[in-house]
Chains A and B, each alone.
Chain A
Amino acid sequence: MEHQFQGQEQTLQRQGHSGFAADWSSDQRVFKRVSWGKAMMWVLLLSDTFVFACFLVAYMTARSSTTAEWPNTSEVFALHIGHQNFPLLLIAIMTFVLISSSGTMAMAVNSAYRKARAPTALLMLATAALGAAFVGMQAFEWTKLISEGVRPWENPWGAEQFGASFFMITGFHGTHVTIGVIFLVIMARKVWRGDFDGIGRSWLSQGNGDYEGVEIMGLYWHFVDLVWVFIFAFFYLW
């Protein structure tokens, strides 16, 4: 068996837009030096981008076409602590928690490529814990809003479409976070056991010291954080 990147060296020497044209017109695989696992994860994330974009655009359409007043998110998501009212406080904390989980994930990828198994597994578990904390706070937020009378078809403060948009967007994002947490735990266990250093591939790991699976897991996790950036801006802050 020849090297898997054989025949690509010539096109790989070209950089920038010349390289872009060469890669796409080379009559070979387009994404050179990119494993299929990573390429397919990017395809998944691209399609997911469109799913979330559809939700956000639908929300914007509903919001700008309704004649009723849109509920003031700053007040709806405020927290009462003592005698003070902090606007959007829980959402801000959730944002920082998710960003921190992205930070620990990035460091897990770095450790994985150094083949430091224990730090990689622990950092991935820390990422999973922060993700679980995020979902927990989201569950708290849902409970609070539902108890205040928010439903997909009505709410006490204004435009009826508010509830449907909120549950749909945050629910779909929370599902993504939950799936990420589950896979982080599975992958952390496999890293800890040494599956990535073993001979031959298994589910989610290539073996032979190839830790790219951790980077691919990281792509998914950072994407979840990325989507939250847009939800935070368009749904909560706007």
Chain B
Amino acid sequence: MAQLSQTAEAQPKAASDDHGGQQHPIRLYLLVWGLLFLLSAASYFVDYAGLQGLLRWSLILIFMALKAGLIIAVFMHMAWERLALSYAVLLPPLVLIGLLAILLIESDYTAATRLVEFGTR
């Protein structure tokens, strides 16, 4: 009986001290917060400055990817999770690139048939 209560006491301690190792310094969070502000300001500037064409699109995508990466890696703690979880979450969305590619090809075709049919642009 005494043994039982001892394990019952040891259990919560093990659970609460564990945190899955996700206790990180506030400085790091503040740094990422600041970086996200900078990147958002930069992507807003892309629109404000009226950049167009390839430069606009590439800058938007770069800032977007950096912001998403910082949020996932630091705020969502993915950088410290084991690869088993990271890959299970991060790899499946890659199939979306395929979906996007297929539908962009299809929408090009749709646009072409509309041009032929309605003849406006």
C-beta contact mask, B28-55 vs A, less than 8 Å → 1, else 0? 0110110011001001101110100000
- Asked whether, in the complex, the Cβ of B99 is within 8 Å of the Cβ of A53, the reply is yes
Which residues of chain A in 41-66 are interfacial with respect to chain B, using CB atoms and an 8 Å cutoff?
A: 42, 45-46, 49-50, 53, 57, 60-62, 64-66
Which of under 10, 10 to 19, 20 to 34, or 35 or more describes the interface residues of A? Answer: 35 or more
Q: Inside 8 A of A60's CB, which chain B residues have their CB?
A: 100, 103-104, 107
- State the Cβ distance, A197 to closest chain B Cβ, in Å: 9
- State the Cβ distance, A73 to closest chain B Cβ, in Å: 8
Q: Inside 8 A of B88's CB, which chain A residues have their CB?
A: 30-31, 42, 46
- Asked whether, in the complex, the Cβ of A64 is within 8 Å of the Cβ of B104, the reply is yes
Q: Inside 8 A of B120's CB, which chain A residues have their CB?
A: 67
- Asked whether, in the complex, the Cβ of B33 is within 8 Å of the Cβ of A106, the reply is yes
- Measured between alpha carbons, how far is A61 from B56 in the docked complex, in Å? 20
- Asked whether, in the complex, the Cβ of A107 is within 8 Å of the Cβ of B29, the reply is yes
- Measured between alpha carbons, how far is A3 from B7 in the docked complex, in Å? 9
- State the Cβ distance, A62 to closest chain B Cβ, in Å: 8
- Asked whether, in the complex, the Cβ of B115 is within 8 Å of the Cβ of A67, the reply is yes
Contact of B111 among A1, A66, A208, A211 (CB under 8 A): A66
- Measured between alpha carbons, how far is A24 from B88 in the docked complex, in Å? 10
Q: Inside 8 A of B100's CB, which chain A residues have their CB?
A: 57, 60
- Asked whether, in the complex, the Cβ of A32 is within 8 Å of the Cβ of B92, the reply is no
16 other A-B residue contacts (CB within 8 Å) besides A32-B82, A237-B56: A33-B20, A42-B85, A50-B93, A53-B96, A57-B99, A60-B100, A64-B104, A87-B48, A88-B48, A92-B40, A100-B33, A110-B29, A113-B23, A206-B15, A230-B64, A232-B43
- B-to-A contact residues, CB < 8 Å: 7, 11-12, 14-16, 18-26, 29-30, 32-33, 36-37, 40, 43-44, 46-48, 50, 56-57, 60-61, 63-64, 67-68, 71-72, 74-77, 81-85, 87-89, 92-93, 96, 99-100, 103-104, 106-108, 110-111, 114-115, 118, 120-121
A81 CB-CB contact with B under 8 Å = no
Q: Inside 8 A of B60's CB, which chain A residues have their CB?
A: 233, 237-238
- Asked whether, in the complex, the Cβ of A229 is within 8 Å of the Cβ of B16, the reply is no
C-beta contact mask, A210-238 vs B, less than 8 Å → 1, else 0? 11100100110011011001101100111
CB-defined A-B contacts under 8 Å, sample of 25: A23-B83, A34-B82, A35-B20, A46-B88, A53-B96, A60-B100, A60-B107, A64-B107, A65-B107, A65-B111, A95-B44, A99-B36, A100-B33, A102-B33, A102-B75, A113-B19, A208-B12, A208-B16, A209-B15, A209-B16, A210-B12, A232-B40, A232-B43, A233-B43, A236-B47
- Measured between alpha carbons, how far is A236 from B120 in the docked complex, in Å? 26
- Asked whether, in the complex, the Cβ of A53 is within 8 Å of the Cβ of B93, the reply is yes
- Asked whether, in the complex, the Cβ of B71 is within 8 Å of the Cβ of A222, the reply is yes
